């Protein structure tokens, strides 16, 4: 993954930032082996923190892979909190169930195979946290789907604001200089997402340059 910070700063953050436990290390090794884009420990630590800060009882993920991000959430959320994993790829989801079962956590997770957007239609909130990490071109639609299901004070976190299937440099002309939208579909999807969450009434958004870049969108408390 490219980085927006220099090598020393990256090593500093890695040395002092959130650490993998044995299961997370095993998942990260599996990701390396299969060239699979997990959210990584720095962004994962942010997921854990928001799950803890909201004392999350219910979390929904768009795009769960094999459960690496879900495991970060489970570490932060309430002891009886539950998470919905959605994944289009059957093998990845099955691997996720296997990993979480090995930590005794599978009974706190619902594993939904299929299109995350269709699955989201079948779920009513409130959710304390939602993660958007599936198709970049559909991030803004995912936010539209989930925003009313987020509890007051709850949070929507989206990954890949800077990198991951696109490069923010491709969007600079549009964002900074009033130029054209980027050609790349993923880059357009991310810009559209950030414009949508910035304009969403009752929500406030910050971009955290952590991992591939997170957008954290908090719903106003009631």
Site residues for ligand SAM per CB under 6 A: 37-39, 63-65, 68-69, 86-89, 92, 115-116, 133-135
**Least Å from the CB of residue 69 to ligand SAM:** 4
**Least Å from the CB of residue 85 to ligand SAM:** 9
Nearest Cα to Cα of residue 38 among 133, 156, 138: 133
Nearest Cα to Cα of residue 62 among 137, 166, 152: 137
Token readout for 127 is: 């959710």
Q: Are 196 and 137 in contact (CB under 8 A)?
A: no
Token readout for 84 is: 């919905």
**Least Å from the CB of residue 172 to ligand SAM:** 23
**Least Å from the CB of residue 112 to ligand SAM:** 9
User: Which residue sits closest to ligand SAM, CB atoms considered?
Assistant: 63
**Least Å from the CB of residue 1 to ligand SAM:** 11
Of 48 and 134, nearer to ligand SAM (C-beta) is: 134
**Least Å from the CB of residue 148 to ligand SAM:** 20
Could you give the CA distance from residue 48 to residue 163 in angstroms, rounded to a whole number? Answer: 21
Of 120 and 218, nearer to ligand SAM (C-beta) is: 120
**Least Å from the CB of residue 176 to ligand SAM:** 27
CA 197-203-204 angle, to 5 degrees, is: 80
Of 113 and 152, nearer to ligand SAM (C-beta) is: 113
Of 160 and 171, nearer to ligand SAM (C-beta) is: 160
Of 69 and 171, nearer to ligand SAM (C-beta) is: 69
Of 91 and 173, nearer to ligand SAM (C-beta) is: 91
Could you give the CA distance from residue 71 to residue 84 in angstroms, rounded to a whole number? Answer: 12
Q: DSSP letters of 45-79?
A: HHHHHHHHHTT-SEEEEE--TTSHHHHHHHHHS-T
Of 3 and 137, nearer to ligand SAM (C-beta) is: 137
Contacts for 60 with CB less than 8 Å, ≥ 6 apart: 83, 84, 86, 120, 123, 127, 129, 130, 131, 146, 149
**CA-based radius of gyration for the chain:** 17
């Amino acid at each position: 993954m490219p980085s927006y910070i220099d090598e020393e700063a990256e090593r500093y953050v890695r040395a002092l930032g959130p650490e993998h436990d044995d299961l997370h290390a095993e998942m990260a090794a599996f990701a390396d082996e299969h060239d699979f884009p997990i959210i990584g420990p720095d962004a994962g630590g942010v997921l854990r923190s928001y799950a803890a800060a909201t004392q999350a009882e219910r979390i929904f993920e768009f795009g769960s892979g094999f459960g690496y991000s879900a495991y970060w959430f489970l570490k932060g959320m309430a002891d009886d909190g539950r998470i919905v994993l959605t994944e289009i790829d059957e093998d990845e989801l099955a691997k996720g169930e296997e990993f979480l079962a090995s930590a005794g956590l599978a009974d706190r997770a619902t594993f939904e195979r299929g299109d995350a957007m269709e699955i989201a239609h079948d779920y009513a909130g409130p959710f304390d946290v939602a993660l958007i990490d599936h198709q970049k071109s559909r991030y803004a639609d995912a936010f539209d789907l989930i925003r009313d299901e987020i509890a007051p004070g709850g949070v929507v976190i989206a990954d890949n604001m800077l990198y991951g299937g696109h490069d923010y440099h491709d969007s600079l002309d549009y964002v900074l200089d009033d130029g054209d939208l980027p050609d790349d579909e993923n880059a357009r999807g991310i810009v559209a997402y950030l414009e949508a969450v910035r304009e969403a009434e009752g929500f406030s958004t910050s971009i955290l340059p952590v991992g591939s870049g997170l957008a954290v969108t908090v719903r106003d408390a009631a």
